[in-house]
Amino acid sequence: MRTFVLGGARSGKSSLAARLAAELSSDVCCVVTALVSDEEMKARIEAHRRDRPSHWRVREEPLKLSAVLAEEARTGCVVLIDCLTLWTANCLWPPTAAPSDPNANFEPDIAGWHTERDAFLASLAATRHDVIIVSNEVGTSLVPENAAARLFRDEQGRLNQLAAAACDSAFLVAAGLPLRLK
């Protein structure tokens, strides 16, 4: 069973995904895509770590998600991926490509992103094991004012559509309440 869990920031999507994973098995591998970029992000990552069951295996993978999904799915464990949103940003603007000035403009790696996205979607379609995927809904607010933010929003929206279509079930979470979409 492949399950897609979508929601806004602080909607409860990660909590729902963790609950679904725990209901399926005690053998869970949580694949995290976040990178520590500053103290606030470090605190967020630590909070997620504290909330996870201590017996879950955790793999940190900011870029090569398809390989990790294929490898972990072969073990027979439940694979929980949290989250596609940070992964998209990591692939579009790989951490090594970022200039030292955080306000400087730099070009996204569109070709690399499309390669990683397509490989991930192929791995997702090929797996017959339990996979739960968390992603942010990014298309329900204002149109971003800059081109990079619009590119990110558009690419994330396309990925969400493709991932949801490849999954057997999908949920939208708002205010901690899940709505089953399919």
- What is the C-alpha separation between 79 and 52, in angstroms, rounded? 14
Annotated catalytic residue 55: no
The token duo for 145 is 């004012």
As a whole number of angstroms, the distance between CA 176 and CA 129 comes to 26
In contact, 29 and 75? CB cutoff 8 Å: yes
> Which residues does residue 59 pair with via DSSP β-bridges, in sequence order?
31
Residues linked to residue 58 through DSSP beta bridges, in sequence order? 30
Amino acid at the residue 60 = E
Task: Pick left, alpha or beta for residue 177 (phi over 0 → left; psi -120 to 50 → alpha; otherwise beta).
Answer: beta
Encoded tokens for 38: 């500053």
Residues annotated as catalytic are: 48
